[in-house]
């Protein structure tokens, strides 16, 4: 076998694996600023790395990531005014997911997992899945699972990582969770010396259009990542990978599926 990445397989091996019932994982990320210390591709990099770890556990395949996401929002991603943030309209993202799901169905894939790594993506990914499922019909034999990887972080782990209280996932943009997970998977892409030291951003309970860019810290970081570490990343990744693998085995009946070394 050539591992779990679809883009590293020949079409012949891919077809064999699909016909054998392999689950396919589709990472859904973004190209978005993540402060001065993380790369623009953080969301897709993390969704892909997590997908690969889970695929190894369940004998799955990881498709190339969708690396553009829905528009960054000030209260969860800093907003569209940052250079490098390159976003899609919601209808465009939904159409891409719709096409991808239909194509995987055409290949013979019957178990698909979309792994969302960008907070703003989730409902547009959902729309794409639902439209595709309507297209292929209720008797298609295909099932699709949508996961957001941060939902699998256990409270016990978050209590250890945030002894003063978890600020909430929206404010964790480019903060401790993402930075620690990047230190686990891609330490060479993290610039620890450039992490801003400011506290969490303060937002009102509403949005304005045009966006009030003054609400957002100039760094683009919504909460300090100073307490990030590779060990914290290991703990978070363990939760996420174990949690998603357990869900996939349960929903798709893969309790006996062999892992890939």
pLDDT digits (tens, 9 = 90+) for 153-195: 999 999 999 998 998 998 999 999 999 999 999 999 999 999 9
Domain-located, residue 261: no
- Model-wide pTM > 0.85: yes
Domain-located, residue 259: no
Catalytic residue among 34, 37, 105, 184: 34
Kindly state the DSSP code that residue 9 receives in the 8-state scheme.
S
The domain of 167 spans: 6-252
Catalytic residue among 52, 57, 120, 172: 120
- Is residue 15 a contact partner of residue 104, using CB atoms and an 8 Å limit? no
Sequence-ordered strand ranges (E) for the chain: 24-28, 61-62, 111-116, 143-148
The owner of tokens 């609400």 is: 215
Catalytic residue among 43, 57, 172, 239: 43
- Residue from 155, 145, 122 nearest 239 by CA: 155
Domain-located, residue 89: yes
Domain-located, residue 223: yes
Active-site residue flag, 34:
yes
Catalytic residue among 52, 148, 172, 178: 178
- Is residue 9 a contact partner of residue 63, using CB atoms and an 8 Å limit? no
Token reading at 189: 């892409």
CATH of the domain at 174: 3.40.50.10310
119-142 pLDDT tens trace: 999 999 999 999 999 999 999 999
Active-site residue flag, 57:
no
Domain-located, residue 135: yes
Active-site residue flag, 149:
no
- Is residue 113 a contact partner of residue 152, using CB atoms and an 8 Å limit? no
Catalytic residue among 32, 57, 172, 239: 32
> With 50 as the cut, is the pLDDT of residue 1 above it?
no
Determine phi and psi for 24, rounding to 5 degrees.
-105, 135
Active-site residue flag, 118:
yes
11-53 pLDDT tens trace: 999 999 999 999 999 999 999 999 999 999 999 999 999 999 9
Active-site residue flag, 173:
yes
Catalytic residue among 37, 105, 118, 184: 118
Number of domains present in the structure of the chain: 1
> With 80 as the cut, is the pLDDT of residue 57 above it?
yes
Catalytic residue among 37, 105, 173, 184: 173
Domain-located, residue 260: no
């Amino acid at each position: 076998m050539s591992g779990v990445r679809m883009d590293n397989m020949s079409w012949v091996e891919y077809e064999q694996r699909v016909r054998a019932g392999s689950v396919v994982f589709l990472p859904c990320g973004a190209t978005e600023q993540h402060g001065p210390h993380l790369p623009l591709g953080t969301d897709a990099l993390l969704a892909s790395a997590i997908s690969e770890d889970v695929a190894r556990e369940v004998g799955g395949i990881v498709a190339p990531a969708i690396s553009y996401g829905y528009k960054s929002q000030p209260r969860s991603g800093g907003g569209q005014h940052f250079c490098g943030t390159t976003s899609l309209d919601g209808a465009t993202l939904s159409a891409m997911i719709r096409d991808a799901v239909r194509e995987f169905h055409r290949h013979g894939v019957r178990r698909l997992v979309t792994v969302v790594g960008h907070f703003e993506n989730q409902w547009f990914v959902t729309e794409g899945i639902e439209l595709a499922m309507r297209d292929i019909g209720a008797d298609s034999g295909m099932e699709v699972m949508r996961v957001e990887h941060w939902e699998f972080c256990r409270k016990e782990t978050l209590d250890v990582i945030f002894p003063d209280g978890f600020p909430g996932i929206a404010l964790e943009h480019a903060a401790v969770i993402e930075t620690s997970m990047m230190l686990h998977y891609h330490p060479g892409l993290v610039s620890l010396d450039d992490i801003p030291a400011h506290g969490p951003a303060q937002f009102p309970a509403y949005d304005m259009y045009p966006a009030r860019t003054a609400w957002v810290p100039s760094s683009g970081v919504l909460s300090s990542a100073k307490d990030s570490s590779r060990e914290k990343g290991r703990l978070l990744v363990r939760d996420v990978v174990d949690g998603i693998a357990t869900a996939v085995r349960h929903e798709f009946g893969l309790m006996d599926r062999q892992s890939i070394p």
